[in-house]
Amino acid sequence: MALFGKDDKMQRPEGTGPTMMNPPTRPAPQPTDETTVQANLGKGSRVVGKLTFEGSVKIEGCVEGEIQAQQAVIVGESAVIDAQINADTVVVKGKVTGDIIARKQVELRAPGKLVGNISTPSLVIHEGVFFEGHCSMGGTADSRAEKSDRKVALFPKEERSNTGTVRMPSEAVK
């Protein structure tokens, strides 16, 4: 009997030998893949104003103002952004100065630099990234907007004296 020869396969009953597993499949492209980008602002481009995209965008140039996208905004390594960014997903590899509001996720990749506040339900920060600002991760941006509409009522606190009796602030001894 050979260890790795044809004879070994002949001696095994069918169905007991090693089975071939399915080859590994490649994961479906994520919105942050450059293959799904509908718009591209390359190196050397400079835009001042409000940019609105129906899909995803990759930016390698300079933008000053405001960026809105229905899907992803990918800030390339050579990009310099001085703007507020609002999108489903934001990936930062370049330099961003301004606030980011993402409905799904923000990912900061090296050598990215962000000076500004982040509002997103999911945040990923890779090693080697510079981030200076505040982060709010309380659900989606839509749910935060609903919460901001709520009113808060303040009630007076009770004051306790040394004797253990409770007095309301209007009854406090002067």
Q: Does 17 reside within a domain?
A: no
Structural domain including 87 reads 31-141
Distance CA 104, CA 146 (A): 17
Residue 79: inside a domain, yes or no?
A: yes
The reply to whether 85 falls in a domain is yes
Task: Give the separation between CA 51 and CA 69, rounded to whole angstroms.
Answer: 8
Return the structure tokens found at 58.
């990759």
Bridge partners, residue 131, by sequence: 114
Domain membership of residue 151 (yes or no) is no
Burial of 107 (0-12, 13-18, 19+ CB in 10 A): buried
Instruction: Reduce the DSSP state of residue 173 to 3 states and report it.
Output: coil
Under DSSP, is residue 50 helix (H, G, I), strand (E, B) or coil? strand
- For 41-93, write each residue's pLDDT tens digit: 999 999 999 999 999 999 999 999 999 999 999 999 999 999 999 999 999 99
Domain membership flag for residue 72: yes
Residue 61 lies in a domain: yes
**Beta-bridge partner residues of 160:** 166
pLDDT confidence of residue 138: 77
pLDDT given at position 35? 53
85-100: pLDDT as tens digits: 999 999 999 999 999 9
pLDDT of residue 61: 95
**pLDDT tens for each residue of 149-166:** 544 545 555 554 455 555
Tally of domains in the chain: 1
**Does residue 158 lie in a domain region?**
no
Task: Decide if pLDDT at 105 tops 60.
Answer: yes
CA 29 to CA 36: how far, in whole Å? Answer: 7
Residue 70 falls within a domain, yes or no?
yes
